[in-house]
Amino acid sequence: MTYEPEDPGEAVPSRLWEIALGGLPAGIALVDSSGRIQWINPAGAAIMGRAAGDLAGAIAPFRLIRRSAENEMPSETGESVCAWSAGPQDERWLGYQEGARVRLGGEGTLVVFRDVTEQQTQHRRVAALARTAAGMASNGSLEEVLGAMAAEVQVSPGVAGTQIMTFAPGGDRLQLMGSAGFAQVEPFFELLMASRDRGADLATLRSMGERRQCVLPGRKAEMLADPRWEPMHDYVSQLAWEDFVSTPLISRDKPLGALNVYLARGCPANPAILEFLEAMAEQAALAVDYATLIDQERVSVRREERKRLGRELHDSVVQHVFSIGMQAKALSGMGKRLSDPLAERVRAAAAEVTGLVDAVQRDLRGVVLALQPSVPAELGLSTALHTLVKGIERRHDVSVDLAVDPLVETMSTPAFVEDVYQIVSEALHNAVKHAAPSEVGVDVGFDRSAGVVWIDVVDDGHGAAADSAGPSGFGLISMRDRAGRWGGSVTIAPEREHKGTRVRAELRIQHGGVPDPQEGTA
């Protein structure tokens, strides 16, 4: 191969330019007009991760500008970037600059290039952080934000799977809020709890308890070799991974969850990926903390609004109704001074108005009481419900049998207490108002295996409660809204062969099994 300058009489042995270019530390390749590599120096072959002989004749990854004249330099001298696969799980980024067209034993274009994989990775990670920060500023739910974060982590080189855990409402057990890379997500906690019951070592809380990143090399092999992890063997085998990294979500020195990453085979943890995971965990912690504060503020606003409505009802509507009652009694007294048949009509009308006023006052007192969320928040769920039941029994000719699972009380956040209380209150008031029951049973329980709090309100009335709280009824809409905030539902069905009504509400505390406060995850 010879260099062919403008003067055909001047010839230079090919070895001279090969020696000259071959000793340079930068990658240099000669690419022909068809886009194939004619020649590459040793540094370039090392950068591309292949032998020079294997690269000869291969399609080059560079996008070259076609120029009409030899030795014409590119109009733009900036560096371009292209992707290159050096092999399975070995994706690289090359920064390159196009040189002039030359004749070195054959027409081609010289390309100078270098490995910019680390810079590109850092740029992508910075972009991922920017996108997650933008996501936090959006109106998306926390689950959507954390799901997007998991997806951003997942596209990082060397990541096989990603999970973001946070504490479920109640603050004493973890829930999966974001996942990427796993074909199966649903059975995770069920299988995890089965492994825990066998005595498997659950490591996520270690990072949360110590408030530091936990790196476990060879975690997959360790789990597959441990019979205690047998329930999880198929689940963890769906990915080609080796090492496990758990990064705690810390905000205001309080652990809020963990970012768990399963690193691909042949991609051990390095300082760059660990630093990136810590940055993403910080963003996730901010998102969780922000969502918690927003939820608390929302609950506080609702509570204050209900207090305001309660005060206005008591100070305005209740007083007006009381005045109507007094006028009705005065009218009844006037009727006594009249002669029949007018006197009888006036007394009957006054008695009817008085009865209606009494009924309205009872209803308003119930509404005012229901608008006081501070009662369950301050007294606790069980005490607040017993207080509610006693008030209803006192105002109505009905017996209420109440049972509350103590576990429901211990798991509760103020928002959860309020929603359970208001669902029970709405169902009870609806029953006594429309179904005319003699007995009502209220049962609040917790299905630990399913992670569901359930509420049963069963009356022995004539069934009008179901009609009055039909799909278009505000009472049922309100109950469904409250249950829906916890991923739950409300159903109404006849009871005892259509004698009475059962209102069933379910509030899903967490998907799958529910770990104890001292438990973690893989």
Buried b (16+ CB within 10 A) or exposed e, 443-477: bbebeeebbbbbbbbbbbbebbbbebbeeebebbe
120-294 and 373-522 in the same fold? no
Q: What confidence score (pLDDT) does residue 72 get?
A: 47
Q: Which of 60, 71, 66 is nearest to 94 (CA)?
A: 60
Q: E strands, 323-377, where?
A: none
Residues of the chain with pLDDT under 70: 1-15, 66-77, 104-106, 123, 125-140, 168-173, 299, 314, 366, 369-378, 409-413, 463-474, 496-498, 510-522
Between CA 451 and CA 330 the distance in angstroms is 58
Q: Which of 444, 440, 461, 454 is nearest to 489 (CA)?
A: 454
CATH 3.40.50.1970 is the classification of domain 373-522 = no
Between CA 137 and CA 286 the distance in angstroms is 11
84 within 8 A of 151, measured Cβ to Cβ: no
Instruction: Tell me which long-range contacts 216-221 makes (C-beta under 8 A, separation of at least 24).
Output: 216/243, 216/244, 216/245, 216/246, 217/242, 217/243, 217/268, 217/269, 218/242, 218/243, 219/243, 219/244, 219/522, 220/244, 220/262
Q: What confidence score (pLDDT) does residue 454 get?
A: 93
Specify whether the backbone of 107 is left (phi greater than 0), alpha (psi in -120 to 50) or beta. Answer: beta
| DSSP assignment letter at 35 | S
The secondary structure of 75-116 as a DSSP string is S--SPEEEEEE-STT-EEEEEEEEEEEEEBSSEEEEEEEEE-
Q: What confidence score (pLDDT) does residue 260 get?
A: 94
State the number of CA atoms in the 13 A half-sphere of 504 facing the CB.
7
Between CA 14 and CA 131 the distance in angstroms is 51
Q: What confidence score (pLDDT) does residue 510 get?
A: 47
Q: Which fold has domain 2-115?
A: Beta-Lactamase (3.30.450)
Q: What confidence score (pLDDT) does residue 106 get?
A: 64
Write the pLDDT tens digit of every residue in 229-250. Answer: 999 999 999 899 999 999 999 9
Give me the residue spans of the domains in the chain. Answer: 2-115, 120-294, 373-522
Q: What confidence score (pLDDT) does residue 136 get?
A: 54
Question: What class has domain 120-294?
Answer: alpha beta
